[in-house]
Each structure stands twice: as structure tokens, then as C-alpha cells.
Amino acid sequence: MENQNIQVFTVSRSGERLDGYLARKSTFSRARLQILIKEGRVVVDGGSARKSDKLRVGQEVEIRIPPVTPIDLEPEAIPIEIVYQDSCLVVVNKPAGLVVHPGPGHPSGTLVNSLLYHVDDLSGIGGKFRPGIVHRLDRYTSGLMVVAKTDEAHRFLSLALERREVKRLYMAAAWGHLKKSPLEIEKPIGRDPANRQRMTVISTGRYAVTRFRVLERWNSAELLEVALGTGRTHQIRVHLAHIGHPVVGDEVYGSGWERGMDGDRFSGWAREMKKRTVRQFLHAWRLSFRHPDNGELMKFESGLPDDLRESADWAVQNTV
């Protein structure tokens, strides 16, 4: 039988959902707890439980925490910019084109492989393919990420992310011009039934909210500052495409949008902008969170990388 730690809680008020109760009482995120419940590692009064079960006063809830899965990936000497590091965590500036962790089609050559080479003591709580990973960036999105080096830091940061206490700001270029700024989009996101490789706004999706503010107005596009209220897959790209302003250079949700922007007046400008933007114009430029060990507010910034800065400079210089 596998070795496991057990956390025990006694319910003091009735009516709360099991997953919500444990998210409040334990150090695990709701998403992690739902996985543990599904795996049968959470029991109520000794019996099986579902995440939606309503609890009663006096019930005893156990979390049977599985042992950490050993990391068996190969370290790889992939260059990575480490912005900050201490005994609890590491903050990296991920380059565009680098997949965060191994998966189908990407068994190696990932950020995780690079971290295993450059960092000696990553948390194993994310499993053998995602050690220390708290949140992700798309392959062709660049910018700041925090990675946990201890299991305690991983639980703390995952819970902070769930509670929206980790603040993330992006810069994005979007086709066209928003009708107003600032703008908030609150639309659920889920898998596209017609194409499971894509996400879409769909009534059966998960709650998602994104806030946009115009930084620079160009001929047929704008530079936006984007704040995430939630962290759904492809959230910024899907919300912008949904309102008809997809991210410049996004081949999945915005392919071909440069054609016909603003009629004939700026069609040449849009085509040239697309040519100069070699990948999706999306960069995680600011990250802030409380330190897991001492509660200090940590703030990090990373300006636009060279490829996006060159594209933005051209857009400014050629806007009339």
C-alpha cells in the first residue's frame, strides 16, 4: 500500500459543498481538490464522496494525500532567463516557442526540461511531467511565470491563483479598435464542440473574465493591456476573437483578419503589420503575488521582447 499523508477536518456548519469547504480549509486549490475527490482520495465519514456533496455539522472529512510522483524527465541545457530565485520559488521569463511541460507531440525540449537543468530543487507536487508548475503560458506566448521549488510553495501559490490573488498583466496587439476602453468581457469558455483543439465562448464552459485597456491606437490595430480575472485555456485570445478583435499574429483564432481591415484605406498597413508580426502578439509583462514563506508582496516586470517591440515600433511610426 502506498505511503500517504492524511489531513482530517470536522465540519462545523452545514450546507457547504465538499470542494468549496476543503478549498477554504486546506492548502490545496479547488482544481487540485476536485482531482483528489475524483481519484477517491477524499472521504466523508469513511465513505466515498463527490465534489458537489453538501456537508453537515459533525461530519469528518479526510484528504488522503498521495505521495509525490518522482520526477523522471531529462534535464536539458535550454537557455532560460531566470528573473528571480530563492529557496521557495523561481520566476522565469519564458521565450515564445517554448512549450511549458512535456505532453503529446512534445516529449522533451520544454521549459520543465530546462528548469530541471538550471534549478536543483523543483517541487514534485505537479507530477512527473509538470514539476513545480503553478500556471502556464501558451507555446507562442512569452513572459513571466512563477514556478514552485517546494511542495508547500506549490500549494500556497496554487491556492492564491484559485483565489485570484496572483495578479497577471499582459500586453497584446489586437486587430481593429475597441468600442470603449477600459472594457470587461465576462463570457464562459470551453472546448469547441466542432474542433476539440480549439476553445470557444460557450454556455457550458467555465466562468471567465478578462479586462482590456487601450495603450496605443494604431491604424488598423491597437496595443492593449490585459488583466486576467480567471485563467482559462487561451482565454485572452478567445475573448478577443469573440468580440471581433483577434490577437495580431494568432493563426488559430485570427488567421486572415489582416485582409480588409478598415476597408481599402489601411489594407496595405494591415498586411505589412501581419508580415512583421512573426507570432501571436501576446506577452505576460507583469506578475505579482505574496511570497509563500513571509507574505511579502513580490512584483516583477518584463518589457516587450525584441520581436514584438520591433513590430510595435513599426506600427507607431507608420500610424497616421
Q: Which long-range contacts (CB under 8 A, 24 or more apart) does 264-268 make?
A: 266/219, 266/220
Assigned C-alpha cell, 194: 466542432
Q: Is 258 left (phi over 0), alpha (psi -120 to 50) or beta?
A: alpha
CA nearest to 25, candidates 38, 41, 7, 39: 7
Q: Is the Cα dihedral 122, 124, 130, 136 positive or negative?
A: negative
293 a catalytic residue:
no
The active-site residue, picked from 19, 53, 138, 307, is: 138
Q: From CA 217, how far away is CA 175, in angstroms rounded?
A: 10
CA nearest to 303, candidates 294, 293, 313, 295: 313
Q: Is the Cα dihedral 160, 166, 172, 175 positive or negative?
A: positive
Assigned C-alpha cell, 41: 482520495
Q: At what angle do helices 267-276 and 306-317 cross, to 10 degrees?
A: 160
**Paired sense of beta strands 282-290 and 142-148, if any:** parallel
Residues involved in catalysis: 138
